[in-house]
């Protein structure tokens, strides 16, 4: 183990092809751990200082301003004596296997995990998983079972990952970017032919396929297959018809087709339908234009309602309504007072009769008159006060 300057270390050119960088909270926690404890596990590099294992540790140290990291330098020969594999494959094998095992949960990106498996199978010479000998020597090649054990997955999981390699590039890209779940991809989509996959992608697009439940994708596939089957049946019927007509006189067939398939009545109906369709389109365009104008007018009214001008007009309107109601109330009060005076006027001529009235009745009448007097005085004061305010306001306005 030796301390090497970070600036001298070089990232492996294919690392991002097989592994994602850490992001978000996990990346923040990872950096905090290094800041607190330092680089506990040394970075593995080649004799040329190419990073084999430890890309994330080196990136974290760069962000934290750490200048050197502990490194274990592995020396790789130009060719392996046993397998005959070149130096590049030996380095790539260590990069994939070491990173899968060190991350603890394998490769969290299912598409990139599939690419790791594909690359390891190429390096190990795995084709069908049987016990075979290397072409170069007597060395036993690894089986798929041994490969699965080496990278910490079951044989079934290994096969599931490999199913993703059957996807067309556009859908592989969606799986790699976590737009489609790996389980949906290998259980459903990967079982389709390339043509069916392309049709599915063209129909739904990236947004249509992204995060869509497996049931909905299955329904789309079933719909496509049904339409394809119907089209194939129509094509077959058409081909059968053509074959049956080959032995007939071409000219006669031509005249019969013209008379039977496109009679004048049908032509007229077609023209009528075209004319109606054009009218429908014009009406639809007019409706759409009217709707657009209505929406714009609605938006303008909403903006106007929010404006100060509208608030001022609304305030004046409410004030006028209040004045109108007040005027009516004052007029009604005036009528009631006048009616009261008319009804109470004859009572002044009953003074002689009042002298004979019971003392209690006189007392109650006196209290009622005093209450009326108090109400009248208050009303006079209120009216006089209001007139004073009006006169004062008029004087101020004149000045």
Report pLDDT for 399: 47
Q: Tell whether 117 is covered by a domain.
A: yes
Residues 60 and 146 in one domain: yes
Report pLDDT for 303: 78
Residues 42 and 187 in one domain: yes
Q: What's the alpha-carbon Rg for the chain, to the nearest Å?
A: 47
CB contact at 8 A, 39 and 69: yes
Q: Tell whether 233 is covered by a domain.
A: no
CB contact at 8 A, 138 and 84: no
Residues 268 and 138 in one domain: no
Residues 158 and 282 in one domain: no
How many structural domains comprise the chain? 3
Residues 363 and 301 in one domain: no
Task: Determine the Cα–Cα distance for residues 110 and 160; give it in Å rounded to an integer.
Answer: 10
Report pLDDT for 127: 60
Average pLDDT, 10 consecutive residues per value, the chain (399 residues): 94 94 93 93 95 95 95 94 91 93 70 94 74 50 86 91 92 90 87 89 83 68 70 75 68 52 73 79 75 78 78 84 80 82 68 68 80 85 69 52
Residues 43 and 175 in one domain: yes
Residues 363 and 274 in one domain: no
- Choose the final residue of a domain: 191, 207, 234: 191
Q: Tell whether 348 is covered by a domain.
A: no
For 55-83, write each residue's pLDDT tens digit: 999 999 999 999 999 999 999 999 988 88
Q: Tell whether 317 is covered by a domain.
A: no
Residues 16 and 127 in one domain: yes
Task: Determine the Cα–Cα distance for residues 83 and 93; give it in Å rounded to an integer.
Answer: 12
Residues 37 and 182 in one domain: yes
Q: Tell whether 48 is covered by a domain.
A: yes
- Choose the final residue of a domain: 161, 191, 221: 191
Report pLDDT for 138: 47
Q: Which two tokens stand for residue 188?
A: 């459903």
Report pLDDT for 362: 74
Q: Which two tokens stand for residue 98?
A: 């070491």
Q: Tell whether 162 is covered by a domain.
A: yes
Residues 285 and 158 in one domain: no
Q: Tell whether 13 is covered by a domain.
A: yes
Q: Tell whether 349 is covered by a domain.
A: no
For 250-291, write each residue's pLDDT tens digit: 555 555 554 555 677 777 878 887 887 787 677 777 777 777
- Choose the final residue of a domain: 272, 306, 340: 306
Q: What is the pTM of this model?
A: 0.53
Residues 21 and 155 in one domain: yes
List the CATH number of the domain containing 185.
Answer: 3.90.1530.10
Residues 148 and 275 in one domain: no
Give residue 376's domain range.
358-399
């Amino acid at each position: 183990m030796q301390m090497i300057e970070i600036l001298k270390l070089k990232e492996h050119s294919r690392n991002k092809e097989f592994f994602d960088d850490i992001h978000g909270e996990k990346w923040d926690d990872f950096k905090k751990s290094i800041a607190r404890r330092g680089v506990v596990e040394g970075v593995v590099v080649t004799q040329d200082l190419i990073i084999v294992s430890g890309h994330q540790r080196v990136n974290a140290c760069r962000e934290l301003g750490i200048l050197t990291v502990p490194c274990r330098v592995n020396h790789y020969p130009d060719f392996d004596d046993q397998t005959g594999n070149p130096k590049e494959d030996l380095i790539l094998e260590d990069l994939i296997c070491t990173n899968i095992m060190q991350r603890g949960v394998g490769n969290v990106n299912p598409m990139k995990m599939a690419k790791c498996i594909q690359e390891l199978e190429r390096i190990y010479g795995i084709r069908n998983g049987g016990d075979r000998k290397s072409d170069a020597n007597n060395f036993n090649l690894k089986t798929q079972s041994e490969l699965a054990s080496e990278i910490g997955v079951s044989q079934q999981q290994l096969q599931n990952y490999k199913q993703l390699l059957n996807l067309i590039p556009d859908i592989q890209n969606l799986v790699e970017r976590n737009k489609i779940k790996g389980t949906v991809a290998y259980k459903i989509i990967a079982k389709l032919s390339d043509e069916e996959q392309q049709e599915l992608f063209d129909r739904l697009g990236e947004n249509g396929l992204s995060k869509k439940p497996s049931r909905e994708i299955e329904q789309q596939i079933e719909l496509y297959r049904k339409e394809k089957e119907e089209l194939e049946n129509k094509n077959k019927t058409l081909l059968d018809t053509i074959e049956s007509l080959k032995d007939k006189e071409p000219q006669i067939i031509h005249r019969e087709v013209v008379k039977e398939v496109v009679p004048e009545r049908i032509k007229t109906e077609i023209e009528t339908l075209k004319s109606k369709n054009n009218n429908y389109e014009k009406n639809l365009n007019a409706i759409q234009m009217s709707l657009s104008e209505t929406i714009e007018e609605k938006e303008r009214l909403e903006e106007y309602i929010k404006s100060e001008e509208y608030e001022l007009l609304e305030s004046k309107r409410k004030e006028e309504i209040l004045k109108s109601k007040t005027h009516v109330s004052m007029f009604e009060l005036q009528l009631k007072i006048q009616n009261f005076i008319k009804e109470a006027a004859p009572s002044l001529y009953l003074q002689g009769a009042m002298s004979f009235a019971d003392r209690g009745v006189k007392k109650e009448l006196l209290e009622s008159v005093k209450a009326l007097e108090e109400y009248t005085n208050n009303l006079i004061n209120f009216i006089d006060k209001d007139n004073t305010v009006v006169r004062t306001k008029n004087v101020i306005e004149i000045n």
